[in-house]
């Protein structure tokens, strides 16, 4: 054993806001690094999404216009189901070796933990979507690149909605025995407004149309949903985790 | 100011009161052995002190602040039943992560120094999932100590440790005590705990049965406390 000498460890004085962001970023980087090493959830989520897309492509005739009309619904249901696999592991991975206790007893707040995990989950879900959307375009003969900017915004807002709700309920169900079952049961009903908005916008954009004033309300619904549930998550996660 | 002040704390699990009107003060610089039989409430009390659980009634302050306040948590090191390190990260990545979370200056250097101190410098880039049990335990000890906490909360720290990890932990605890840090340590290993402790608290069924300085009488006869203040 190395003899115990004196290590001059000092705690950095820094701006509270900067310290807050650094803490959340450390949690996010930790989650992404762990996932990149194990690839447990990303592999499961991606293969599940691709298999479902493939199976539906056999079920529907890809040449028919009606496929484009259901494209939004099809894509978002696939992402919602595949996303549950990622979100379920978000807090559950902290149970190994009681890492959640180690994190919660550190100065990192529940809100930092929540936002750090949200960003990590968002990155993982976007990675799944970035691979699945071109595959969807090929299988279903849909040109999805016509309004790429609006499509990217729609997917970013919709994915954040899924992420923030899923991460919040992942924290709530982390200590339940049936958490794999409970998470989808809790998440999907809460997701209905955001899913409806994302489905409507995606369908319009996949059909080659631009988002008009008639459809702008769905963007507002998505933005409002994201803001409200992000604030709720940040405000209540400490109560959820500590009691 | 005391390092820890617990005032009239109750904690329930369902209808069962795990802690019953427990009042305890731990002076700064003292090393308290928290004793009691299994299920007495030691772990419940330590979890409340660590900010991992809230009491149903009563107040708890750590270093003069609420247990969930950043000011208190930055000065507390916790070593619980779980080792609290990530399997998919390397030893250095684990320590660097916690050094960052605790706001330690120069996390890289601090993590490296603690790896050396725990005798893990040769496996610094090895993933924890590939470590032996003893190596994991030493890494957990380094994680709990790396921010030089003012107060250490240790829940049965010697249980299931290998000889080398026990040696690391004993050296660090003696040094911490000599430097005037406060230590609260729950344990069933009476002799080891009493040799280190300056104060003793005994909990029976959630109630504080005894608190006071560790005496020579306790050291000479570790069973004395249980015989005089333990359950009938």
Q: Do A97 and B78 touch (CB under 8 A)?
A: no
Q: Tell me what the mean pLDDT of segment A137-157 comes to.
A: 92
Q: What is the pLDDT of residues A120-134, one digit of tens each?
A: 999 999 999 999 999
Q: Is the Cβ pair B101, A26 closer than 8 Å?
A: yes
For residues A146-164, average pLDDT = 96
pLDDT band at A13 (very low <50, low <70, confident <90, very high): low
Q: Residue A15: which pLDDT band, with cuts at 50, 70 and 90?
A: confident
Give B13-73 as a DSSP string: ETTEEEEEEEEEEE-TT-EEEEE--TTSSHHHHHHHHTTSS--SEEEEEETTEETTSHHHH
Nearest to B89 among A3, A4, A33 (CB): A33
Work out the number of other CB atoms within 10 angstroms of the CB of residue A17. Answer: 8
Among the partner residues B89, B164, B172, nearest to A34 by beta-carbon distance: B89
Q: What is the pLDDT of residues B126-145, one digit of tens each?
A: 999 999 988 999 999 999 99
Partner A contacted by B76 (CB < 8 A): yes
Beta-carbon contacts of residue B151 (< 8 Å; ≥ 6 apart): B3, B4, B62, B63, B75, B76, B77, B181, B182, B183, B184
Report CB contact under 8 Å: A7, B74.
no
Task: Identify the closest residue of chain B to A28 by CA–CA distance.
Answer: B97
Biggest CA–CA distance in chain A, Å, is: 75
> What are the distances in angstroms from CA B127 to CA A2, B86, B130, B174?
21, 9, 6, 30
Residues of B in contact with A2 (CB under 8 A): 116-119
Question: How far apart, in Å, do the first and last CA atoms of chain B sit?
Answer: 35
Among the partner residues B84, B102, B110, nearest to A107 by beta-carbon distance: B102
pLDDT digits (tens, 9 = 90+) for A176-206: 888 889 999 999 999 999 999 999 999 999 9
pLDDT of residue A14: 66
Instruction: Compute φ and ψ for A176, nearest 5 degrees.
Output: -85, 145
Yes or no, beta carbons of B148 and A14 under 8 Å apart: no
Q: Is residue A212 pLDDT above 90, yes or no?
A: no
Look at residue A143 in the predicted model and tell me its pLDDT.
Answer: 87
Q: Which tokens in the block code for residue A214?
A: 């008639």
pTM more than 0.95 = no
The predicted pLDDT at position A180 comes to: 87
pLDDT digits (tens, 9 = 90+) for B6-50: 999 999 999 999 999 999 999 999 999 999 999 999 999 999 999
Q: Given a cut of 70, is residue B216 above it in pLDDT? A: yes
Q: Lowest mean pLDDT: which of A13-17, A231-235, B103-107?
A: A13-17
Report the C-alpha gap between B167 and B159 in whole angstroms: 13
> pLDDT digit string (tens) for A40-49?
899 999 999 9
**Interface size between A and B, measured as CB pairs under 8 A:** 119
Q: Is the pLDDT higher at B165 or at A51?
A: A51
Q: Touching check for A68 and chain B: CB below 8 Å?
A: no
pLDDT confidence bin for A63, thresholds 50/70/90: low
ipTM for the predicted complex comes to: 0.92
- Token pair 């991460």 is found at A167
* pLDDT above 70 (res B172): yes
Q: Does the CB of A96 have a partner CB in chain B at under 8 Å?
A: yes
Backbone angles phi, psi at A38, to 5 degrees: -90, -35
Contact call for B80 and A2, based on CB within 8 A? no
Contacts of residue B216, Cβ cutoff 8 Å, sequence gap at least 6: none
């Amino acid at each position: 054993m190395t003899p115990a000498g004196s290590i001059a460890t000092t705690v950095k004085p820094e701006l509270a806001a900067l310290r807050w962001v650094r803490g959340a970023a450390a949690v996010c980087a930790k989650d992404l690094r762990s996932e990149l090493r194990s690839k447990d959830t990303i592999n499961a989520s991606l293969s599940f999404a691709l298999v479902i897309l493939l199976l539906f492509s056999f079920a529907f005739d890809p040449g028919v216009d009606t496929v484009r009309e259901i494209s939004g619904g099809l894509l978002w249901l696939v992402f919602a189901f595949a996303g549950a696999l990622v979100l379920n592991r978000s807090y559950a991975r902290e149970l190994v070796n009681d890492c959640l206790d180690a994190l919660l007893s550190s100065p990192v707040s529940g809100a930092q933990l929540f936002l750090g995990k949200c960003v990590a989950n968002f990155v993982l879900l976007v990675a799944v979507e970035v691979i699945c959307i071109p595959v969807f375009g090929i299988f279903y003969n849909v040109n999805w690149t016509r309004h790429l900017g609006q499509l990217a915004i729609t997917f970013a807002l919709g994915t954040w909605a899924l992420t923030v709700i899923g991460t919040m309920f992942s924290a709530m169900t982390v200590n339940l025995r049936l958490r794999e079952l409970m998470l989808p049961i809790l998440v999907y009903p809460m997701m209905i407004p955001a899913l409806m908005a994302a489905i409507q916008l995606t369908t319009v954009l996949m059909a080659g149309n631009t988002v008009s004033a008639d459809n702008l309300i769905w963007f507002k619904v998505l933005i409002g949903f994201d803001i409200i549930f992000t604030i709720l998550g940040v405000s209540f996660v400490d109560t959820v985790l500590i009691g | 100011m005391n390092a820890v002040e617990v005032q009239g704390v109750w904690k329930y699990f369902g209808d069962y009161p795990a802690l019953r009107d427990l009042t305890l003060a731990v002076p700064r610089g003292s090393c308290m052995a928290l004793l009691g039989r299994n299920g007495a409430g030691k772990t419940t009390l330590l979890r409340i002190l660590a900010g991992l659980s809230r009491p149903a009634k009563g107040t708890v302050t750590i270093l003069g602040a609420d247990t969930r306040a950043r000011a208190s948590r930055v000065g507390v090191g916790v070593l619980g039943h779980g080792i609290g390190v990530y399997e998919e990260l390397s030893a250095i990545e684990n320590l660097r992560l916690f050094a960052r979370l605790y706001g330690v200056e120069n996390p890289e250097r601090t993590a490296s120094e603690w790896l050396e101190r725990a005798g893990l410098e040769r496996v610094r880039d090895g993933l924890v999932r590939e470590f032996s049990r003893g190596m994991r335990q030493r890494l957990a000890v380094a994680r709990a100590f790396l921010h030089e906490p003012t107060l250490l909360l240790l829940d049965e720290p010697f249980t299931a440790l290998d000889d080398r990890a026990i040696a690391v932990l004993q050296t660090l605890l003696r040094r911490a005590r000599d430097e005037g840090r406060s230590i609260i340590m729950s344990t069933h290993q009476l002799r080891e705990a009493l040799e280190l402790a300056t104060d003793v608290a005994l909990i029976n069924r959630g109630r504080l049965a005894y608190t006071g300085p560790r005496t020579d009488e306790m050291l000479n006869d570790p069973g004395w406390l249980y015989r005089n203040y333990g359950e009938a």
